[in-house]
Amino acid sequence: MPTRMTLQLVDHSITRPYGVIEHVLVKVRQFTFPWDFVVMDIEEDAEIPLILGRPFMVTTNCVVDIGKGKIEMGVDDQKIKFDLFDAEKHLLDRNICSKMDELKNEMVLMARAKLAPDP
């Protein structure tokens, strides 16, 4: 069944996703998590971060310390820590916009095929 959702973006515009790609393996350092992605066509901007929702944070046992700018996530007794201020500084210093060009077209095609009506 097609995904029937609308999303309100930060600029208050409303958009509809192409669909949802399920069970994608996401590697965060030494951990690999199965995750679902909402496929959208939005303008790319290095200044706008990808926001991970509460379900991802719960799955990874994420602990966020806003005051110290730290995120800790892990599985069972294994943990990894991130310094938010340090990571952001390095990305902006190198003027990098992280993206997955090689997967973008494939994900859009998969979403369209999944949403296409059966003949």
Residue 25: what residue type? Answer: L
CA 15, 96, 49: angle at the middle one, nearest 5? 35
54/19 same-domain check: no
Residues 88, 65 share a domain: yes
Domain interval for residue 89: 50-98
Which of 24-28, 45-49, 54-58, 92-96 is predicted with the least confidence, judged by mean pLDDT? 92-96
Residue 23, pLDDT > 60, answer yes
What's the pLDDT score for residue 41? 73
pTM of the predicted model over 0.75: no
Average pLDDT over residues 78-93: 69
Total count of domains within the chain: 2
Secondary structure of residue 22 in the 3-state scheme = strand
What local confidence, expressed as pLDDT, does residue 104 receive?
A: 59
